[in-house]
Amino acid sequence: MNMEVRDADRSEDLLAQVCTALATNTPVLIQGGGTKSFYGRATSGALLDTRAHRGIVSYDPTELVVTARAGTPLSELEAVLDQSGQMLAFEPPYFGEGATVGGMVAAGLSGPRRPWVGSVRDFVLGCRVITGHGKHLRFGGEVMKNVAGYDVSRLMAGSLGCLGLLTEVSFKVLPKPRSSLTLRLEMDVDTALVRFAEWGQQPLPITAACHDGEGLMLRLEGGEGSVKAAREHLGGEEVSAAFWMALREQKLDFFSSPAPLWRVSVAND
């Protein structure tokens, strides 16, 4: 696939900075666009900026695999995927225009589709990492079943840079759905939970759901026929899909409420 990208392999420079920090016992602060610096505990150290190390290393739409350097703008990666009708299915939040691929993986945050398709770590196939011992190592690869032993590449997702400096990551991507629509159903939380128990036993193309305190928002995605049939079955009012972007970027009203907002992670059964 021919693409005009501003490739820049700065892995040797990054490795040299890590080795210098190691030799002088200097802590480093790994940062790309800094859009997720609010997440996790406060850190300090010599700034190690990854943004110059950028570019899409390889992309094979037929194999649904893309490899990009850590400093690659997330918007650039998603724009390239969009040209082939593909996407990062876990809907990573940006929290700002400077979001990078490395920061996306290091933060490990996913969007509204996560309960249905999985999180960031479920789509990481392999990576290259500069370790705290000054070694540039490769883990995993570009296919789903190529890991023998501990899957370090997926462990990097959500590590916030504690396990090493990501320089390159390979992802599995998915085709964009042919049809998508958003419904709003007026019901309280208790009713919504009962309905979800029922819908879970039915082949409904639900890929996002959120109760905003007053009503239930649902996103239906898939083939035109299945989406149309589900829409007729569920009822409700068709509304703008912009809701999911606001949810992904944490811009809905309840994110700025003075009331405590809990983030809960549970095991999948």
Token pair of 44 as six digits: 């300090």
| In CATH, 179-255 is 3.30.70 | yes
Does domain 11-175 bear CATH number 3.30.465.10? yes
**According to CATH, where is 3.30.70 located in the chain?**
179-255
Read off the tokens for 196: 């979800």
CA distance 32 to 50: 5
Contacts 24+ apart (CB under 8 A), 134-143: 134/15, 134/18, 134/19, 134/22, 136/11, 136/15, 136/167, 140/170, 141/170, 142/58, 142/63, 142/65, 142/67, 142/170, 143/65
175 Cβ contact partners less than 8 Å away, ≥ 6 residues apart = 64, 85, 86, 87
pLDDT of res. 146: 52
Contacts of 114 (CB under 8 A, 6+ apart): 90, 91
- Secondary structure E strands in 136-178: 136-140, 165-172, 174-175
**pLDDT reported for residue 3:** 43
Mean per-residue pLDDT pooled into runs of 10, the chain (269 residues): 63 96 94 92 90 95 96 97 97 96 96 94 95 92 59 90 95 96 96 92 94 93 96 95 96 86 73
- What pLDDT, on a 0 to 100 scale, did the predictor assign at position 4? 42
Cα angle at 123 between 204 and 242, to 5 degrees? 55
Q: What is the pLDDT of residue 131?
A: 94
Ramachandran region, residue 187 (left: φ > 0; alpha: ψ -120 to 50; beta: rest) = beta
Which pLDDT score, from 0 to 100, does residue 1 have?
44
Within the chain, all domains assigned CATH 3.30.465.10 are found at 11-175
